[in-house]
Amino acid sequence: MVTRTAVAAWVTAYERAWRAPGTDGLASIFTEDASYLQGPYHEPVVGLPAIARMWDDEREGPDEAFEMSSDIVAVDGDTAVVRVEVIYGDPVNREYRDLWVIRFADDGRCRSFEEWPFWPSRPITVPRNATNDA
C-alpha cells in the first residue's frame, strides 16, 4: 500500500529525472516493464528502454525552463492520482495541467503511468503574474 508521503517523493523524483540530462534516473522511478500512457487514447509506451526513448524525444534538455507544481488528489492501495501543473518558458509560452494516474509496484517504483493532459485552447500571451493597467 502506497502512502501520500511516498507519492510526493515519487513526484519529486520524476521532476528531478525530467530535469536531469540523460535517462539514467528512470530506472529508480519506473519498473523495467512499466507502461507509460501519454494520453487516454494514446498507445502505451512499454518498457524502460522505450520510455527512455520517448523522454529523449519529448524533452528539450536539462536547460528547459519550467515550473512544476503538484497536488495529490487521491491514494488508494497501490494507486495514486496527482494533479500537476507545468508552466514552460520565461516569459511563459506553454502551460499544461495534467492528471496522473500512477500505479506502484511493491518496491515503490511506478509500474503504470497514465497521463491526462490539458492545455489552454489558445496561446498564452500575457506572462503569469502580469498586471493589467486598464
Is CATH 3.10.450.50 the classification given to domain 4-118? yes
In the predicted structure, residue 129 carries a pLDDT above the cut 60: no
The Cα 44–Cα 115 span in angstroms is: 10
pLDDT digits (tens, 9 = 90+) for 41-86: 999 999 999 999 999 888 776 667 889 999 999 999 999 999 999 9
What is residue 62's predicted lDDT score, i.e. its pLDDT?
Answer: 63
Task: Specify the residue for cell string 487521491.
Answer: 74
The Cα 53–Cα 48 span in angstroms is: 9
Domain ranges for the chain, please list them.
4-118
The Cα 39–Cα 122 span in angstroms is: 20
Record the cell numbers describing residue 1, joined without a space: 500500500
For residues 8 and 128, the model is more confident at 8
| pTM, 2 dp | 0.84
Task: Specify the residue for cell string 524533452.
Answer: 59
What is residue 72's predicted lDDT score, i.e. its pLDDT?
Answer: 98
What is the Cα gyration radius of the chain? 16
Angle at 17 between CA 120 and CA 97, to 5 degrees: 15
